[in-house]
Amino acid sequence: MYFQSKRDVNYNLIIWLQVLIICILPWINISIVTDNLLIYLPITGLYLILLLWIWFGTGYEIKENYLLVRSGPFRKKIAISEIKEVELHSNGEDLAIVIGPALSFTRINIIYSDSFDLISISPKNRENFIHELSLRNRDIKIP
């Protein structure tokens, strides 16, 4: 089952403002492009691809026995049997939620493995996501 990442207005602004600036900058100062064409186009092109890939490619897929977390080119596969706990967070409650494959400040921290690794994600439908995880691993500690 696939769950799309929730997208906050703040993340909308961060991503799309960067895309807009990169696209408008050559029109504001055309010499940036013409003088540095071989540098500007590949670097900005790759950066735009990365931003858009992250924006449209961030999501979470629950398979039979593992969770696949995707954010653009980045992937993380977590065995559902290793998940120990799920914590709900929102509005920047702690620093741990700032970093992670999520496009929202309304997040779920998933603690997994014996070393208590943590990944912070933001599925659009948190309740269904948690329900699906709990169906596959009844030992997950859920608030």
pLDDT score for 65: 93
Judged against a pLDDT cut of 50, whether residue 42 lies above it is answered with yes
Judged against a pLDDT cut of 70, whether residue 28 lies above it is answered with yes
Pairing type for strands 58-62 and 74-79 reads: unpaired
pLDDT score for 97: 41
Judged against a pLDDT cut of 50, whether residue 71 lies above it is answered with yes
| Percent of the chain whose predicted confidence (pLDDT) is above 90 | 55
Q: Rounded distance, CA 92 to CA 22, Å?
A: 28
Question: What is the topology classification, in CATH, of domain 1-143?
Answer: PH-domain like (2.30.29)
At residue 38 the predicted structure's pLDDT band, cuts being 50, 70 and 90, is confident
Cβ-proximal residues to 98 (8 Å cutoff; 6+ apart), any chain: 92
> Which of the pair, 25 or 61, is modelled with greater confidence?
61
Cα four-point dihedral sign 11, 85, 57, 25: positive
Backbone φ, ψ for residue 124 (5° rounding)? -60, -40
Say what the pTM is. Answer: 0.82
pLDDT average, residue stretch 4-8: 94
